[in-house]
Amino acid sequence: MKYIVLAETYSELERIPSKLKKTEIIAKLFKETPANLLEAVTLLIQGRVFPSWSEKEIGVAEQLMIKAIAKSAGVSAEDVVKDYKKSGDLGLAVETLVGKKRQRTLGSEQLTVGKVFANLQAISEHSGGGSQDRKLDLIAELLSQATATEAKYIVRTVLEQLRVGVAEGLVRDAVASAYNVPVDDVENAWNLLPDFGEVAKAAKEGGEKGLKKFKLRLGTPFIVQLAEKSPSLKDAIESYKKVLLEYKYDGMRTLIHKKGEKVWLFTRNLENITAAFPDLVQLARKNIKADDCVLDGETIGLDRKTGKPVPFQQLSTRIKRKYDIEKSVEEIPIDVNLFDIVYLDGKNLMELTLEERKKCLAKSIHSVSGKFHVAEGLVTTDLKEADAFYKEALKAGEEGVIVKDLNALYVPGRRVAGGWLKVKPVMENLDVVIVGGTWGTGKRAGTIGSLHLAIRDAESGKFLECGMMGTGLKEKTQSERSSAAPRAKGATESEQDGSVTLKEMTKLLKPLVEHEAGSLVKFKPKIVIEVAYEEIQKSPTYISGFALRFPRFIRLRPDKSADEADTIERVKTLYGQQKGKK
């Protein structure tokens, strides 16, 4: 299969905003792809070379890419940088430079998908002395044989900046369409084994039956079950006949796979964190009785001096750590809270009730207090008992509680009707100032895709950053989304719709630009918006010392000036009120 087929597909996807049309294009590509290339094509169409859960990565920086482009195009690095500065996209820069070449290198063959995929995967294998030269040669080899269009997308793929608007949902729908199988079957298979290459191959060769044969695989993560929000504790415990309450920990969702002495660790986002948490690996080896199993739980970080939980933000510094791992183990010890077991010695336990799985879990581990144990829980349908447990969780510094149906099965990847409901304190909205942003890519190209938020220091008058937000702003107006009723007389479309689009927000912000550097923009602090968020965390990342977790846009506050935005003192007060902090 020629790589130009994939490159032309990228071009078509980049031009077309419609998700339905994109799905049709990808489905057509899948139909034309031989089974032995489906793994490569399903990854490459997402701009990846490895599955999201793989420890491997390409690891090529812009400077090395500039050298590779210069070498293959026969120009200086300065010429590449000059073109790069014009477009802000090395993919466009290489397209221009390769387009100026008179012809393809004499005697060179057309690139194939297999050749491109093999070279890109091989880049990750090189490390240590001389590795940069070997990586450069692998990239330059491809670029020297590529057409202008091919070179554009090879560079973008290596830099993980494909920008064609292909999310996992589109790939799922395209697999279903290409092989005429139900979307739910595709999703269920992917939830158990998140690799669209294998899912597509099973659908192509075995149809619905092939997809339904998917099982958990030790060493490969699955999409964990998630909880839905409940309006109140009362609503939550009244939702089920047999109720279990457990702490909702402010930690890291942790999947522990064990096969003999081999242990793998994954997060809910499919990140392989085995190397970053050798202490957890040792705890699992010593305290799991079963030979083969998959446990689900939450890992929290502890203050080394007090033994009390630290915010997830602090524990998260260990997740990406590649160096000085032993030092991080010492600085942030952990406590592993296990709440489920989904696989045990060759048996899939997802089809058992939670009550049955809990019994299996208790028999499968040695409990070590404060280090490796079953999560704190209470079986009750009494509201007073439940409320006391909820307050106990908050006092302990946790986020709240998860209310679980003891009769429910384990449902990977689902929030609705999955038998888990989360109850957390309702945080008050904040009025913040927009002080910066990042230009969007893909379907958000031409708009400010994410906003940098700040609160006010009443004493100095300065604005202190407290987070980034990309949620809550609409991508289209109401009239673009549907043929809605006429707006009220005198009302703007945003006022009528109760929302603001990315384009509208960008239009408001453009006159306020103070400085631009690449995709980053700095604005005069003029526009105030109201945001909701899940919680406030302490953070060394932002100058305010705090971060809003998952902020989302609620509304513009044109009635407020920047000097009326919420203050750092207000944020400190709210931080102290949440989760029983003082």
CB atoms within 10 A of CB 242: 14
Q: Which two tokens stand for residue 511?
A: 């006159």
Report residue 413's pLDDT band, with 50, 70 and 90 as the boundaries.
confident
* Full 3-state SS string of 41-62: HHHHCCCCCCCCCCCCCCCCCH
Can you say whether the dihedral through the CA atoms of 391, 544, 508, 443 is positive or negative? negative
Question: How far apart (Å, rounded) are the C-alpha atoms in residues 243 and 408?
Answer: 10
- Whether pLDDT at 549 is above 70: yes
Which pLDDT does position 9 carry in this prediction?
A: 96
The amino acid occupying position 35 is A
SS3 category, 353: coil
pLDDT, average across residues 128-147: 88
Q: What is the largest CA-CA distance in the chain?
A: 81
Report residue 579's pLDDT band, with 50, 70 and 90 as the boundaries.
low
Helices (H), 448-577: 478-481, 493-497, 502-509, 568-577
The answer to whether the CB of 255 falls within 8 A of the CB of 430 is no
Q: Which two tokens stand for residue 68?
A: 């590779």
The catalytic site residues sit at 248
Phi, psi of 232 (to 5 degrees): -160, 165
SS3 category, 186: helix
Phi, psi of 422 (to 5 degrees): -105, 140
- Rg for the chain, CA atoms, rounded: 26
- Whether pLDDT at 481 is above 90: no
Q: Which two tokens stand for residue 538?
A: 């302490």
User: Which of these, 66, 4, 19, lies nearest to 164 by C-alpha position?
Assistant: 19
Report residue 439's pLDDT band, with 50, 70 and 90 as the boundaries.
confident
The answer to whether the CB of 421 falls within 8 A of the CB of 239 is yes
Going by their DSSP bridges, the two strands 420-423 and 228-229 should be labelled as parallel
The answer to whether the CB of 470 falls within 8 A of the CB of 453 is no
Q: Does pTM surpass 0.85?
A: no
Those residues whose C-beta lies under 8 Å from the C-beta of residue 133, and which sit 6 or more positions away, are none
Report residue 161's pLDDT band, with 50, 70 and 90 as the boundaries.
confident
pLDDT, average across residues 50-61: 85
Residue-level length of the chain: 582
The answer to whether the CB of 65 falls within 8 A of the CB of 136 is no
Choose the most confident range, by mean pLDDT, from 128-142, 185-199, 488-502, 506-520.
185-199
Exposure pattern of 220-241 as b/e (b: 16+ CB <10 Å)?
bbbbbbbbeebeebeebbeebe
- Whether pLDDT at 283 is above 80: yes
Residue bearing the bigger pLDDT, 338 or 213: 338
User: Which of these, 160, 76, 89, 148, lies nearest to 123 by C-alpha position?
Assistant: 160
The answer to whether the CB of 520 falls within 8 A of the CB of 444 is no
The residues that bridge with 569 in the sheet, in sequence order, are: none
Mean pLDDT over the full length of the chain: 88
Residue bearing the bigger pLDDT, 297 or 520: 297
- Whether pLDDT at 34 is above 90: yes
- The arrangement of secondary structure in 3-158, i.e. its CATH architecture, is Orthogonal Bundle (1.10)
pLDDT, average across residues 263-278: 93
CB atoms within 10 A of CB 58: 18
- Is residue 199 packed enough to be buried (19+ CB in 10 Å), middle (13-18) or exposed (0-12)? buried
Helices (H), 396-453: none
- Whether pLDDT at 478 is above 70: no
- Tens digit of each residue's pLDDT (9 = 90 or more) over 417-434: 679 999 988 788 999 999
User: What is the CATH code for 430-580?
Assistant: 2.40.50.140
SS3 category, 29: helix
pLDDT, average across residues 164-183: 93
pLDDT, average across residues 494-520: 77
The residues that bridge with 403 in the sheet, in sequence order, are: 245, 421
- Tens digit of each residue's pLDDT (9 = 90 or more) over 77-126: 998 888 888 877 898 989 988 877 655 454 467 899 999 999 999 998 87
Report residue 496's pLDDT band, with 50, 70 and 90 as the boundaries.
very low
Q: Which two tokens stand for residue 84?
A: 């790069």
pLDDT, average across residues 375-387: 95
Question: How far apart (Å, rounded) are the C-alpha atoms in residues 400 and 422?
Answer: 7
Helices 168-179 and 196-212: crossing angle in degrees, nearest 10, is 50
- Whether pLDDT at 519 is above 70: yes
SS3 category, 546: strand
Report residue 56's pLDDT band, with 50, 70 and 90 as the boundaries.
confident
Question: How far apart (Å, rounded) are the C-alpha atoms in residues 142 and 3?
Answer: 11
Query: Domain 228-423 falls in which CATH fold?
Result: D-amino Acid Aminotransferase; Chain A, domain 1 (3.30.470)
The amino acid occupying position 483 is S
Q: Which two tokens stand for residue 232?
A: 């109140």
CB atoms within 10 A of CB 387: 15
Task: Kindly list the domain boundaries of the chain, sorted by start residue.
Answer: 3-158, 228-423, 430-580
